[in-house]
Amino acid sequence: MQHTEAIGVMGGYGAVGGAVVRRLHRAGVHPLLVAGRDPDRAEALIAGLPEEGPDASATAVDLTDSDALDRFAARCRLVVNCAGPSYRVLDAVAQAALRHGADYVDAAGDDPVRTLLSADGGAERWAAAGRVAVLSAGVLPGLSSLLPRALAASTPVTGAVALDAYIGGVAPLTPAAAGDVLLGRGPEHGTSGAAWRDGRIQERALAPRRGMRLDAFPAPVDAFPFLSAEAVRLARATGIGQVRWYNVFGGGRLAEELAMAWALDSTETAELVAAADEDVRRHGAWYGQEFHLRAGTADGPPAARLVLRAADSYELSGFLAAAAGLHTLRGAVAPGVHFAADVLDPARVVEDLAADDAAELQML
Half-sphere exposure of 168 (CA within 13 A, CB side): 25
What pLDDT score was predicted for residue 156? 66
Is the bond leading into 85 cis (omega within 30 degrees of zero)?
A: yes
What is the pLDDT at residue 52? 79
Rounded-to-10 torsion of CA 311, 347, 180, 262? -90
CATH 3.30.360 residue spans of the chain: 143-312
Give start-end residues of each CATH 3.40.50.720 domain in the chain: 6-139+316-363
Q: What is the pLDDT of residues 309-339, one digit of tens each?
A: 999 999 999 999 999 999 999 999 999 999 9
pLDDT tens per residue, range 50-62:
987 779 999 999 9
**Residue that wins the pLDDT comparison between 224 and 161:** 224
Assign domain 6-139+316-363 to a CATH class: alpha beta
Give just the sign of the alpha carbon dihedral 201, 204, 208, 212: negative
Determine the pLDDT at residue 158.
63
Question: Between β-strands 195-197 and 200-202, what pairing exists: parallel, antiparallel or unpaired?
Answer: antiparallel
| Cis peptide bond upstream of 31, omega within 30 | yes
Give the pLDDT mean for 340-351.
Answer: 96
Residue 130 class from Cβ within 10 Å (0-12 exposed, 13-18 middle, 19+ buried)? exposed
Confidence at residue 338, expressed as pLDDT on a 0 to 100 scale: 97
Phi, psi of 40 (to 5 degrees): -65, -40
Split at pLDDT 50, 70, 90, the class of 265 is: confident
pLDDT-based confidence at residue 345 (cuts at 50, 70, 90) = very high
Specify whether the CB–CB gap between 334 and 128 falls below 8 A.
Answer: no
> Residue 25 pLDDT more than 60?
yes
Per-residue pLDDT, 356? 93
- For the chain, give the percent of residues with pLDDT over 70: 97
Percentage of the chain exceeding pLDDT 90: 76
In this predicted structure, the answer to whether residue 181 has a pLDDT above a threshold of 50 is yes
Distance CA 247, CA 228 (A): 10
Alpha-carbon distance 126 to 91, whole Å?
A: 13
- In words, the CATH class of domain 143-312 is alpha beta
Nearest to 172 by CA among 80, 281, 331: 281
Band (pLDDT 50/70/90 cuts) for residue 1 is very low
68-115 pLDDT, tens digit each: 999 999 999 999 999 988 878 899 999 999 999 999 999 998 888 999
Beta strands in 176-258 (DSSP E): 190-192, 195-197, 200-202, 209-212, 221-228, 242-249
* pLDDT bucket at 232, cuts 50 / 70 / 90: very high
Mean pLDDT of 1-29: 89
What local confidence, expressed as pLDDT, does residue 3 receive?
47
Mean pLDDT confidence for 132-158: 91
How much is the pTM?
Answer: 0.93
